[in-house]
Amino acid sequence: MSSTLTWFAVSTALAIGVALVTRQRGWGMALPVLAAGAITGLLPFGPNAPLNPEVALVTVLAPLVFGEALGSSYLDIRRVRRPVLILAIGLVIATTAAIGFAVFAISAIPLALALALGAILAPTDAVAVSAVARRASLPRRLVSVLEGESLVNDGTGLTVLRVALVAAVAGSVTLIDVSITFVLAVVGGIVVGLIGGWGMSWVTAKSTDAVAANSLTLIAPIVLYLAAEQIEGSGILAVVVAALYLAHSHTSSVRSAARLQSAALWRHVTFALQAMAFFLVGMELVDTLLKLDRSQLELVAMLVAVVTIALILTRVVFIYVTIRIEGARRREPQNMRLAMLAAWAGARGPVSGMAAFSIPLVIADGSTLPYREELLATTFVVILITLLLSQTLAPLARRLGVQSADETERLRRIDAVLARAALRRLDEVEEEAAAQGRPIPADVAALVRDSLDQRLRALEQQPDQSAPMVLATQIELRRLMIRAEQEEILRIRDEEGLPDSIVRPIQQALDVRLL
């Protein structure tokens, strides 16, 4: 058995095991899993040969970003497209420049490499930001802005990184080279993503086998990433565009089987890949630091301090200035508390870590690229620091009095509208059946109508403080009754020898009723 396969199996098991414990305790997985990876990297036994970073970028991060984007909403992001694009493009460029020139000013690191470090750390991480923002119960619009920013800015950051690395290896690049590289990356990524998203949506819509159709989405992120990179496009951008297209297609369809199976499938895949990605960051952090001597560690410590300060200050200043400009343009006051939270929600994660490994080992003349290990170590330590700082977002939101709006009344109104639509459709079906000479039995129609009427009456009543307790009691009673049915079908199978070919469909139907 190869060492790579052994590493992958052991590391995956450890990562998911730690993530499982943290999830059951209601904690965020990022820091505990990262710590577990770091501890594993320090042990004299166990996995100590990390995957090829390029392989990890394709097999772990591409599906992970796809899963995160699949859980996002194209419509929600479109509604906040202006701030998303300002942050995903303008802030990434500003952060790259701020870090690059700060690092160049305090060290002997060439400007091109310093800008490459800035491009690596400029994008926020979709996985880390989404998890932290949702746990902090931030307003829906702010969450959409942060998620949209973190999904789109990877393409910007990796494109800028590509240009900086070309300059670092070749010695210099022209403005025309920069423009061509940027346009190819963006256009190529979007085109490949749209084609891939349309193709998956078409297959899902036309296929009568939801299992086979959803299986296609498992391999799609890897294929799309490689296809985009092959034409000099942004692989990450292609994956994000395809996922958003597919997600919008799913939510715009009335068919539920494929949507339910896809959502369940990608929840499991995303959970496993999140754990794997943060575990990998932890192992790489230790592995990189152990390679450095004392002078290199001192340089890394200085770089980490400067880069962290530059990251925070650039984001705060950029967002503050942007909010002021937007307020003046719209001639209306802006919510500075939300701006403060947006400025503080800048966690970095595995995407930056994997991007750092794209720094080449040698330059054009064949000599070793200087400061590579120091840049890698700086990247991983800064990722750790930003993840630690991100844990203060929820306390900050509570201190500022910012929280998500209570949607209870809105949801009650929507549910009532849906119940009335169902009643109207029932009337139409009864009339059509009677006109065709095949009337629906009165007792069957009355049973369905009574259920809808009862639901509608409950929704139209003025809610009181006891309503949540009554609802919780009903849900618990329903759960206990279904559990009794599940136990009874097992008893019949064991005592009467009922075959699993009969038992399993019944169990699946009961499981669905528990959802």
Secondary structure (H, E, C), 384-399: HHHHHHHCCHHHHHHH
| Cα radius of gyration rounded to whole Å, the chain | 27
Both tokens assigned to 289: 């630091």
pLDDT at 434: 82
Indicate the pLDDT class of residue 2, thresholds 50, 70 and 90: low
**Which residue in this structure is represented by tokens 């508390």?**
337
- Angle CA 499–503–505, to nearest 5: 130
Which range among 35-49, 115-129, 259-273, 481-495 shows the weakest confidence by mean pLDDT? 35-49
The CA distances from residue 196 to 222, 225, 259, in Å, are 11, 10, 18
pLDDT at 477: 81
Which of 123, 193, 127 has its CA nearest to residue 159?
123
- Reduced to 3 states (helix: H, G, I; strand: E, B; else coil), residue 362 is strand
Q: Do the beta carbons of residue 116 and residue 150 sit within 8 Å?
A: no
Query: Which one has a higher pLDDT value, 350 or 320?
Result: 320
For residues 355-382, give the mean pLDDT. 82
Measured in residues, the chain has a length of 515
Both tokens assigned to 137: 């119960």
Which of 142, 281, 262, 165 has its CA nearest to residue 204?
262
DSSP code at position 457: H
Which range among 16-20, 25-29, 278-282 shows the weakest confidence by mean pLDDT? 25-29
Both tokens assigned to 287: 């592995």
d(C-alpha 36, C-alpha 42), whole Å: 10
Residue 368 main-chain phi, psi, to 5 deg = -70, 135
**Which residue in this structure is represented by tokens 């499981």?**
511
Indicate the pLDDT class of residue 303, thresholds 50, 70 and 90: very high
Model confidence at 405: pLDDT above 90: no
What does pLDDT average to over the chain?
A: 82
Q: For 459, how many CA atoms within 13 A lie in the half-sphere containing its CB?
A: 19
Model confidence at 51: pLDDT above 60: no
Both tokens assigned to 156: 């910007």
d(C-alpha 264, C-alpha 61), whole Å: 19
Indicate the pLDDT class of residue 118, thresholds 50, 70 and 90: very high
State the pTM of this model: 0.79
- Angle CA 341–347–353, to nearest 5: 165
Model confidence at 391: pLDDT above 70: yes
- Reduced to 3 states (helix: H, G, I; strand: E, B; else coil), residue 460 is helix
pLDDT at 318: 92
Both tokens assigned to 17: 């095991």
